[in-house]
Structure formats: structure tokens, C-alpha cells
Chains A and B, each alone.
Chain A
Amino acid sequence: MPSTRDIRRRIKSVKNTAQITKAMQMVASAKMRKAQQAALSGRPYAALMNEVLSAVAGNTGDFTNPLMEVRPVKKRAVIIVSTDKGLCGGLNTNLLREVGKFDKDTTVFVTAGRKASQFIARSKRPLAAEFTYRDNPLFSEARAISKFAQDMFLKGEVDRVDVLFSNFINVMTQKPEVRSFLPIGEIKAVEAGLDGEGGGAALVKSTTEYLFEPGAEQLFGNLLPHYLNFQIYQVLLEAKASEHSARMVAMKSATDNAKQMIKDLTLEYNKLRQANITRELLEITSAAMAMG
């Protein structure tokens, strides 16, 4: 039977934990809003890219580009976008469970985020490169990842590249998703914003007749890497939003649990205190009766 002092000590420590988790919850929710905001501020860029894409694609006819070359898949690469830190519920566990579905012998991994690289190292899978990205991802970070993947593909080291990341569906739900990256299949309109759905609508045909400088085909070839970079950038933002919302939810339930625990412990403490008082009273009265 714990003494009242033990219980008091426990209540205090649980209270401290609750304070910490509460603070982390607030931080996560602020950061999540930021990530959402960042995704939305890519909108004008996405809109412009769609315009350029549709104008260029409409003028190239039957184009081919090394980035669109479909080859039989002997070796593939997977870019895993995970978080750097834990304490975000089952987010990384769910994400990394998907990794097991790829064949160890024919897949190389590229990671962004510390949790993924740790996992790949621990499970002794081939790691081609590891990248980092900050809390508010920079476009240059996305570009580095995308460039690396494109180089691998163009050199023929891999015949296919996919991206595995936590898709932000809403604050409560994040789903691990594998999205194909290379070769580029159908060119879709890019979208900015965390809509939860992968891939955009078909391109709208532009009505203006443009001149192209240099030629439309060359322009198109140069545009494709940017198109890919932007996709990776969106994936990073999506993953960040997922991380922060998952952390927010995890921390909220931790805070709730701690509060419940404080309640239970307080009840126990009061019961024990009462029992002690009753016992003492009994002792005093029975002693008094014995004396009398």
C-alpha cells in the first residue's frame, strides 16, 4: 500500500508530464498550420506551371524525353520521406511497414528524414543516399532529392523511382502512400495545397498561340525537371503536415491520459487520507475509552 506521500509525488510527476505534452501539442498545431500555409503559398507557382505545361505540351505533339522512357524494371529506387523525430504516434511505424513490401534485392532506397535512414540501416537494406529537410521545407532541399533521383534514372542505375510518404488526408488521418515518380507517365496538372488526393486533374488546353524560345520541345525537356522538383516539394510539405498533425493528435491523447491519471490518483489519495484520519480517530477514541 503506497503512502500518501508516494501518491502525492506521483501526481506531481504526472502533472509535469501533462504540461510538457500539452506544450508539444500546441507547438505541433502551430507548425501544422504553417505547413498547410506553405503548401497553399505554392498555388501561384502551380498555376503558372500548369499554364506553361499545357501551352508547351499542346505544341510538341509526339515528344519523347529520357525522363519519360519506360524500361523493363530490373532495379528500382524508392524515396522514403519520414520524420526526423518520434513522438508522433504510429506515423513512422505505418510508413515503414510499407517498406517491407519492396523486394530487398532489387530496390535501393533514398531517404529523407532521420527515422527512415535509421530504419533502412537497421534492416540492412541498400541505402543510396540520405537527405535531410527542415521543419519548413525549402525548395532547394526538394530539388536536391529530385535531382539525385533523376540522375539515377537517367544513368540507368534504376528503371523506376517511387516516392513513399505519409499523405495528409486530414488532421486525424495520414495514410502512407506510394506515388510513382519516374518515368513520367501522363503529365498532369500540378496542384498546391494539401488536398489528400494524389495527382491533379488533366491539363486544360490553352487557347493562346505562343512563340517558343528555344523550341517548344527543348523548352518542354527543360521544364520536366522543374515539374518533378515541384512534385517532390509538395511531397515534403505533405509529409511535414502529416508529421505535425500526427504529433498533435498523439500529444493531445497523451495530455488527456495524463489528466485522467491525475484524477484517478487524486481520488486514491483522498481515499487514503480519509482512511488515515478515520484510523487515527479510532485509535484516539479507543485509547480514551481504555483510559476511562
Chain B
Amino acid sequence: MATLKLEIVTPEARIYSADVDMVTLPGVEGEMGIFPMHVPLMTQVVAGELVARMGGRDYFLAVGEGFVEITGDRVAVMTDMAIKADDIDESKAEEARKRAEARLSEKLSDEETATVQASLMHSLAQLKVKRRQR
């Protein structure tokens, strides 16, 4: 069976690179599943959960917002953040979420709000992925 090469890169590193059977992405227009031989597609992802299916097992990752390039044999994700489910520290993410929410309730300038909102999205995505596993 044909496989897809899934690559996830952030500006800091190449986080993930493997041959997978199927990828589920948090697209801007809803969740989308990608199988091999997909038509070439460029799209955006929002912060959320990315699932890579490999040999009947699902691997979960939390991703930030970014872009995806899909060709018949490759899915390349470029994003601000990507963390494998196993590497997520739940207490840390929870703490980050609380901190971000607390800061949002304060009065902030626009640029601070944007930064805090982004980190909130990131921590929520991480938490979602981590809790799903159980």
C-alpha cells in the first residue's frame, strides 16, 4: 500500500518525519483526513491536533497554526509549534493555559493580547492531545 511521507517542520527544528498511512489535520475549514494519492493541495491549519496513522496505530501531535503542502506522496506541515503527545507536559500546559487566561482577563494592549491568545491556543492544543490519549 502506498504511504505518505509526513514532515512537520518549525523554524526551530524538523519535529517529525516518517512514512505514514493517513494523516488527519486540523484545517481552517474543519478537520481533514489525507490519504496517499491526494490531489496536490495547499491549505492552512489552525492550532489543534494532528493524527498520523501508521500500521494501524495512531500517533498524536499538537500543532500550532501554519501551512500544509500536500502532494500525492507527501504531506509537509510548516507550523509555529509542534509537539509529540508523549513530549507534552500536561501540568506545564495546564499552567500555561491558566496563566494565559488570567492575563486575558487583565487589560492588555493589542499586541500583548495577540501574543497571549496565541500561547493560549498552543496550550489548549497540547492539552487536547494529551487528554485524548487516555
Contacts and interface: CB of A to CB of B under 8 A. Distances in A.
B41 A212 contact: yes
Contact of B39 (A45, A142, A211): A211
A48 interface: yes
A148 B12 contact: no
Contacts of A38: 12
Nearest to A129: B111
B119 A140 contact: yes
Interface of B: 7, 9-14, 27-29, 39-44, 66-67, 69, 71, 76, 78, 80, 110-111, 114-115, 118-119
A128 to B, nearest CB: 10
A102 to B, nearest CB: 22
A226 B111 contact: no
Interface residues on A, range: 35 or more
A188 B39 CA distance: 27
A178 interface: no
A55 B69 contact: yes
A226 B80 CA distance: 9
A144 B40 CA distance: 32
Nearest to A208: B40
* A-side interface mostly: helix
Contact of B80 (A44, A143, A148): A143
Given A49-B67, A211-B40, A226-B67, 6 more contacts: A38-B12, A144-B111, A147-B111, A147-B114, A212-B41, A230-B11
A264 B8 CA distance: 59
Interface string A134-150: 00001110111001100
23 contacts: A38-B12, A41-B14, A42-B12, A44-B9, A48-B69, A48-B76, A52-B69, A56-B42, A139-B12, A142-B11, A143-B115, A144-B111, A144-B115, A147-B111, A210-B41, A212-B41, A212-B42, A213-B28, A213-B29, A214-B43, A214-B44, A216-B42, A222-B67
A162 B40 CA distance: 37
